[in-house]
Chain A
């Protein structure tokens, strides 16, 4: 029997158990969309390709599956580049299918032609242009395999139109992935010796601390991680990407470290004698001044990517591999072989951490206009901490990370590495598709939300009842904060007070719009918005010049924190 390239693609997708695609059609992918018409795979039609890639990204983060995105050649492909880079930085498994002009026309500057594999080479885990229909089935399967194996990441498959139209005998299709590189396939078998060395260091530690990151969530190892930390009674700080990997309501929890980390997390890093890093890559926003990072600590680094080990922070012991089996192995020693840190050895340390917590808890000044932190806190209370929260980038993101306390894995979806404004709302759409049973809230700023506002149409179209909470301060808030602190309050082009009427805008798209201009309206507005069955945009007019604190100046040691605006003024 003969099948077309488009049919081969869909068979491969079926083999990979794909049930949802986020996409946007165009000339080069007409044959694929024609096949999609007949397929039972769900397609979410976005309004801009950047929305499609971010939605696929959000879908992947929440479902733990590979997100899939399908766009046309040329501008369709280039519109996904920001989202691809975003997924690359945060190690999110997505497969992006781009249409391409027919093979004889490639390289000739044809209409809607762009060298998308050339463009995305440095920001994909892998990419490939499929020139022959014989290779299509296998290549698609390889793309999924590469995207999810080892350290996950985005893979782009560029398919010329003539390949989608070509016909092949069914028996001539090869489906078997053939990946010769063993380094990349997550085949790193960790050695028991490395684990024993780590355990030996843990046994001797007087001031141990765990820093966990996105790797714990990507490795689906938060259960194992909780067991590990709790059994050994070691305090935990998690990076932005790691939020939800450890319950924020647990007494061992120290909050987020780094530039906008808590006082006690940063103090703990700066004074610990053993730092157990699990699934982190030591971003500069976490370490700040490298020479002053964890100066007294021996470091145990557990990560699936050998390139992360010793990249910035030297590890005394390193375990390369998937953190789930590694933590299982370590937990076995704890539960079955009675491994423990000697009684009382860490007592002083835990006491010291409690003192730090008392000295400078995470807080803000509650008087005056509506405080954005108050909005997030109230949202946390009203949702019982059960919502999936996505964020945009900037102050809204930091306040969400600080004041919504994440107890569950995959409940915080945020652009960590790339810092992509406009990510949160389409990501929320993807998250809602993955989890129709959950409440999904995008915590946004008035700047970021306008970057992919067109996706309101998508959310309304598919009745994906995402709630958007806009912390509207009339500024590009984080830019303004840096200008306030480091550029003599010269607010160069960060004032966006001329924002649209978000209530009317929501209504224009067929969503519900609500507004709260005073502190006492915050709770009722949130309550009303959360009770609405459909898409809701809530516009909170907040204190325009509120800042995110604590703050470590870029390049300063973690111990040099400005705890509040008032302290800074003093």
Chain B
């Protein structure tokens, strides 16, 4: 069973100095205020001294008030951008390990085409597929493959870009 992305889920992107301890400080702010981080990606940017943390979290009406302002106070945080809402495109990558049987192989191949998945590895009876898209889409893909026997999944968590305003930080 997979949790659907709920309406009150918030995606934010935080640009931080690439310093030891920063992630701990950022994650601590969420824990302190009782928000669970649902997914998180940290990776480098074009500037090796800056990392980008993209995360989704459960939220409530106080969320922006509490979290964004608290994050802005951290010395190593450069910028906090709220990426929730239709203006932003959110995508994630999901790896799905699915078992392949003689009876199911053709159906699975059709689904792979239909969802525009990639086959990352094949071993006898077991494929690892890559699906990308909005978290709702990857969830739907997973739901489709579920009956064939999904052994393991792994998701990156959403990263997000602004569709409309290239001047803004992605």
Contact = CB atoms under 8 A, between A and B. Distances in A.
Direct contact of A and B (CB under 8 A): yes
A118 B74 CA distance: 14
Interface in A94-125: 103, 106-107, 115, 117-118, 121
A92 B149 CA distance: 48
B33 interface: yes
A107 B66 contact: yes
A350 B66 CA distance: 68
Nearest to A131: B34
Interface in A476-502: none
A134 to B, nearest CB: 15
B31 A106 contact: no
Contact of B33 (A106, A117, A121): A106
Interface in B1-54: 28, 31-34
Contacts of A131: 34
Contacts of B169: none
A107 B31 contact: no
Nearest to B35: A107
Contacts of B32: 106-107, 115, 117-118
A107 B33 contact: yes
Interface in B55-79: 66, 70
A118 B33 CA distance: 11
A117 B70 CA distance: 17
B66 A118 contact: no
B36 to A, nearest CB: 12
Nearest to B28: A118
Contacts of A107: 32-34, 66, 70
Contacts of B33: 106-107
Interface residues of A, number: 8
Contact of B34 (A106, A118, A121): A106
Nearest to A104: B62
A106 B31 CA distance: 11
Contacts of B66: 107
Interface in A404-450: none
Interface residues of B, number: 7
Nearest to B34: A131
B101 to A, nearest CB: 33
Interface string A113-143: 0010110010000000001000000000000
| Residue of A103, A106, A107 with most chain B CB atoms under a 10 A cut-off | A107
Contacts of B34: 103, 106-107, 131
A63 B33 CA distance: 38
Contacts of A121: 28
Contacts of A115: 28, 32
A545 B170 CA distance: 66
Contacts of B28: 115, 118, 121
A105 B93 CA distance: 38
Contacts of A118: 28, 31-32
Nearest to A121: B28
Interface in A273-309: none
Nearest to B62: A107
A121 B66 CA distance: 22
A106 B29 CA distance: 11
A121 B34 CA distance: 16
A118 B21 CA distance: 13
Contacts of B70: 107
Nearest to B70: A107
A512 B141 CA distance: 79
B62 to A, nearest CB: 9
Interface in A348-394: none
A131 B66 CA distance: 17
A380 B70 CA distance: 57
A92 B161 CA distance: 50
A106 B30 CA distance: 12
A551 B31 CA distance: 47
Contacts of A106: 32-34
A107 B66 CA distance: 8
B71 to A, nearest CB: 12
Nearest to A119: B28
A131 B36 CA distance: 13
B116 to A, nearest CB: 37
A327 to B, nearest CB: 39
A107 B31 CA distance: 10
Contacts of A103: 34
B123 to A, nearest CB: 30
A103 B66 CA distance: 14
A378 B22 CA distance: 54
A25 B28 CA distance: 28
A260 B129 CA distance: 62
A213 B31 CA distance: 37
B67 to A, nearest CB: 9
A117 B33 CA distance: 12
Nearest to A108: B66
A103 B32 CA distance: 11
B3 to A, nearest CB: 19
A118 B31 CA distance: 9
A118 B26 CA distance: 11
A115 B32 CA distance: 7
B43 to A, nearest CB: 25
A121 B31 CA distance: 12
A446 B105 CA distance: 81
A368 to B, nearest CB: 52
18 contacts: A103-B34, A106-B32, A106-B33, A106-B34, A107-B32, A107-B33, A107-B34, A107-B66, A107-B70, A115-B28, A115-B32, A117-B31, A117-B32, A118-B28, A118-B31, A118-B32, A121-B28, A131-B34
Given A103-B34, A117-B32, A118-B28, 7 more contacts: A106-B33, A106-B34, A107-B33, A107-B70, A115-B32, A121-B28, A131-B34
Interface of B: 28, 31-34, 66, 70
Top 3 A-B pairs, shortest CB-CB distance: A107-B33, A118-B28, A115-B32
